Amino acid sequence: MAMKLGLGFHKARISRENFRFARQAGCTHAVVHLVDRYRGEALPGTDPTCFGQTRARGRLWSEDSLREVKTMAEDEGLTLEAVENIDPSFWCDVLLDGPRKQEQMEGLKTLVRRLGKVGIPILGYNFSIAGVWGRVPGPVARGGAVAAMFSEKTRPAETPVPRGQLGNLVYDPAPPPGDIGTVSPEQIWRRFQDFLEALVPVAEEAGVRLAAHPDDPPLPVLRGTARLIHRHEHLRQVLELVPSRANALEFCLGTLQEMAEGDLYETVDRHSREGAIAYIHFRNVRGKAPRYHEVFVDEGDLDMIRVLRILRRNGYDGVLIPDHAPEMTCDAPWHAGCAHAIGYMLGALQALEKEDEISCD
Ligand SMILES: [Mn+2]
């Protein structure tokens, strides 16, 4: 099987047991989120739409800690394919054009070199100021399973982003008062260009691919801040800005399908043919921005089998991971949701493989 199955683990779910679970479900690869956050109410300076507060306070993930998680995955039979997401405290001033931008760019270079040294081939990131914001949970997937939804009716009031917050997380619990104001498309693209121009050469040398995730929800502006990747054509613009194998895509099928315009099958075809896809978030959705909701992988608008056929035809040999799999009503809601998605993916890939064997006979 040329394509590989993986599973993504948030920091709190990284454990031998969960890695073993993924292996048993049929995965060979793992993607980890290392952003460590407190959750809960009573966080200073937060609003109800905030995901929590991160603990890192600018301290980069050490080479030892990266090696530790990689070894743990390998001990359970999984290859660690990617670290997904950058702690906001590592690069807030890169996104916000703040006074510590140069210093933080140096930090990101160090982080990429560490990934290369440890042998983790991909760093997934979301170059987004407002981040994943404004979706609310609801019983909208099959059987009333809870999944994220977004619509005019349910979206919260778009307040400006308070200082000390980025991408939905608080990175500074005692920030100066006020908010970050507005950010224009020109500003966000300029900042992104600076980021890529500085980091891509380092990533090339380290043997690491930087993989950009599109903006979820894919709207032009959220909370007064322009979003980078909210149309299919933006993927091409990202790649053309600094052409390199190290400048690649964290290809989120769900977010791309949510975009108001664009043909997802053409987009999959183009970017898989050119080898620009570092790895894939395999997720389905119903509707399009500004009104959509997430669903189980087999019940959305997107023809997942058609997507897999295109990827197979174009020789895509990277990793696919379930994304936002709805949790299921049972004693292990997260595990059941993931096992359901992985089982679907495994079955689909085996069926395509058999089909090709038969047509070759
Ligand atoms: Mn995604």
| pLDDT grade for 1, boundaries at 50, 70 and 90 | low
Angle at the Cα of 187 from the Cα atoms of 199 and 177, rounded to 5 degrees: 100
67 Cα to the center of ligand 1, angstroms: 25
Nearest to 82 by CA among 29, 122, 27: 122
310-350: pLDDT as tens digits = 999 999 999 999 999 999 999 999 999 999 999 999 999 99
pTM: 0.96
255 Cα to the center of ligand 1, angstroms: 6
254 Cα to the center of ligand 1, angstroms: 7
77 Cα to the center of ligand 1, angstroms: 25
128 Cα to the center of ligand 1, angstroms: 13
323 Cα to the center of ligand 1, angstroms: 6
280 Cα to the center of ligand 1, angstroms: 8
176 Cα to the center of ligand 1, angstroms: 32
Q: How many CB atoms lie within 10 A of CB 106?
A: 13
211 Cα to the center of ligand 1, angstroms: 12
351 Cα to the center of ligand 1, angstroms: 25
249 Cα to the center of ligand 1, angstroms: 11
Strand partners, 212: 125, 249
126 Cα to the center of ligand 1, angstroms: 10
Strands 136-141 and 145-150: antiparallel
138-160: pLDDT as tens digits = 999 999 999 999 998 998 889 99
Distance of CA 245 to the CA centre of its chain: 19
Q: Give the model's pLDDT for residue 262.
A: 96
282 Cα to the center of ligand 1, angstroms: 8
Please state the rounded mean pLDDT for residues 9-16. Answer: 97
166 Cα to the center of ligand 1, angstroms: 18
223-274: pLDDT as tens digits = 999 999 999 999 999 999 999 999 999 999 999 999 999 999 999 999 999 9
Which structural domains are found in the chain, ordered by start?
4-360 (3.20.20.150)
| Cβ contact 167:131 at 8 Å | yes
Q: In what order do the strands lie in the sheet with 165-166?
A: 37-38, 52-54, 169-170, 165-166
56 Cα to the center of ligand 1, angstroms: 23
Q: Tell whether the model's pLDDT for residue 359 goes beyond 90.
A: no
181 Cα to the center of ligand 1, angstroms: 27
| Cβ contact 8:321 at 8 Å | yes
Q: Tell whether the model's pLDDT for residue 37 goes beyond 90.
A: no
Instruction: Cite the DSSP H helix spans in 126-247.
Output: 185-206, 232-241
Cα separation, 306 vs 310, whole angstroms:
6
Please state the rounded mean pLDDT for residues 19-39. Answer: 94
Q: Give the model's pLDDT for residue 42.
A: 45
210 Cα to the center of ligand 1, angstroms: 15
Q: Give the model's pLDDT for residue 288.
A: 97
